[in-house]
Chains A and B, each alone.
Chain A
Amino acid sequence: MNIDGHLIAALLVLIGAILSMIRAAAGPTSYDRVLAVNVFGTKAVMLLAIIGFIGDRSGFLDIAILYGLVNFIATVALLRFVETKRLT
């Protein structure tokens, strides 16, 4: 009975993820891409939390936490590369 709100929210977040993916593919500058990937990561974390709730599996939440961390690290690594063309 409470599936409906979750499903609508999940679909809205999923459409948002698709839109930010189009931005990541289109560019035009590298910074746009980095921003779009970051936005996509946030959407993926939300999506995982909601799907985990629909499927009633709390294991999803661990993965969502991992995503949040990996997303931030990947964003910082991408920025370092775009700024200096080096990683270290």
Chain B
Amino acid sequence: MDPVLLLDVILLLLAVTTAITAMAIRDLLGSVMLMGIYGLLMAVIWADLFAMDVSFTEASVGAGAATILLLSALTRTGTRERTGGDHHLPALVVVLITGSVLIHGTSQMPAFGDPQAPAHIHVAPHYLSQDIGKVSQKSSDGATRRDFGDHVPNTVTAVLTAYRGYDTMFETVVIFSAGVCLVLLLRPRSPLRREQADE
């Protein structure tokens, strides 16, 4: 049996168990810690699927930053969940209906890796026909253009770097400014500043 597949199955089961436990547990601090473990597990799973960038993000944001943000939220609230009165039947019905509609929708999707899937008929040939970063190109004046130093390993990376570069950069800017805002909102006021504000 493929060892990576075996580890994958165990890790996925573990991630589901962790998520359910984190929801079921009444102690919110324990919940936050289980969410940290969940982040670590998801990062291992992403790494197992060879999605290195996602795994990096999950490890630093899911396991590190999210834990600390949730903890700073806990400093403003209690650490015990209020008991009782949290079973809302209409909400359960709505969630079940939405979930079954979504699952019904997935049954219409093309099979995994199907060559006749729309994504493979329309855009994929366009991307595959160009060779940004994959080979050295002769430009019109005869000089050799070396995109990314010929180091792009596959088409997906070429598309990511060529088309999604600005996208990713400004996503990073958005996330960074969101982080700065959260730090500004959640920062403690120093006693000196508080006195000045009181006067």
Contact = CB atoms under 8 A, between A and B. Distances in A.
Contacts, number: 107
B3 to A, nearest CB: 5
B143 interface: no
Contacts of A62: 52, 56
A82 interface: yes
Contacts of B74: 81
Q: How large is the interface on A (under 10, 10 to 19, 20 to 34, 35 or more residues)?
A: 35 or more
B37 A21 contact: yes
B187 A81 contact: no
B14 A21 contact: yes
B91 interface: no
A66 B56 contact: yes
A51 B48 contact: yes
Contacts of A54: 3-4
Interface in B43-79: 43-44, 47-48, 50, 52, 55-56, 59-60, 63-64, 67-68, 71-72, 74-75
Contacts of B48: 51, 55
B75 A25 contact: no
A86 B188 contact: yes
Interface string A26-43: 010010011011001100
A41 B67 CA distance: 13
Contact of B33 (A24, A63, A88): A24
Given A33-B29, A74-B67, A86 B44 contact: no
A63 B30 contact: no
Given A10-B3, A66-B60, A70-B59, A60 B47 contact: yes
Contacts of B75: 81, 85-87
Contacts of B25: 25
Interface of B: 3-4, 6-7, 10-11, 14, 18, 21, 25, 27, 29-30, 33-34, 36-37, 40-41, 43-44, 47-48, 50, 52, 55-56, 59-60, 63-64, 67-68, 71-72, 74-75, 187-188
Interface of A: 3, 6-7, 10-11, 14, 17-18, 21, 24-25, 27, 30, 33-34, 36-37, 40-41, 44, 47-48, 51-52, 54-55, 57, 59-60, 62-63, 66-67, 70-71, 73-74, 77-78, 81-82, 85-88
Given A10-B3, A33-B30, A88-B188, 16 more contacts: A6-B3, A14-B11, A17-B14, A36-B33, A44-B40, A47-B44, A51-B47, A55-B48, A57-B50, A62-B56, A67-B63, A74-B68, A77-B67, A78-B33, A78-B67, A88-B187
